[in-house]
Amino acid sequence: MPKYPLEPLAEMRRQKVEEATAALAGAVRKREAAARALRGAEVRRETAARVASRVRTAELEALTRGDLRALDLARAHAWAARTAAEGEALAGVVRRAEAAEAVARDHERDAQGGLATRRAEALLVEGHRDRWNEQRRRGVEAREEEASSEAWRPRR
């Protein structure tokens, strides 16, 4: 049977599918890393908020008992300002991590679309090859059948 004339195209399409699969795997890894970074930033922010809340609660309890002096209140005010600044910095880290994860998610979605396109292109060529092979097989069968019917045809 003759060789499929579009075999180089079929091979190129298979390679494109493999490349798109590798690109998707890379995009998934990047998105997962961005998601881990986001979770880590959120945990750090929540931990800092819990610690600050505990310290604030302890300070308020000490204030109500009368254990604090004016100097202690000034230090507490400075501490609260620093804690607020740290909270804002951690919130900024979380926002940047969210943005990075969104970009990674979009990149992953694009890679999924690219892979789907490459697979569809490869399937198109494979379908054409199957039809081409079927036509060749039918032609061979028809020629063989004609040759066998002529060989067994009774002579008059």
**What is the predicted pLDDT for the residue at 26?**
97
| Position 153 pLDDT exceeds 80 | no
CA distances from 4 to 19, 115, 121, 131, 132 (A): 24, 25, 17, 11, 8
Q: How far out from the chain centre does Cα 81 lie?
A: 40
Q: CA 21, 23, 28 angle in degrees (round to 5)?
A: 95
**What is the predicted pLDDT for the residue at 28?**
97
Calpha distance 105→103 (Å, rounded): 5
Domains and CATH numbers, the chain: 7-150 (1.10.287.1700)
| Position 24 pLDDT exceeds 70 | yes
DSSP character for 5? T
pLDDT tens by residue, 108-135: 999 999 999 999 999 999 999 999 999 9
Three-class DSSP labels, 62-82: HHHHCCCCHHHHHHHHHHHHH
Calpha distance 111→118 (Å, rounded): 10
Average pLDDT, the chain: 91
**What is the predicted pLDDT for the residue at 118?**
97
Place of tokens 């230090």: 75
| Position 86 pLDDT exceeds 80 | yes
**What is the predicted pLDDT for the residue at 117?**
97
pLDDT tens by residue, 43-56: 999 999 999 999 88
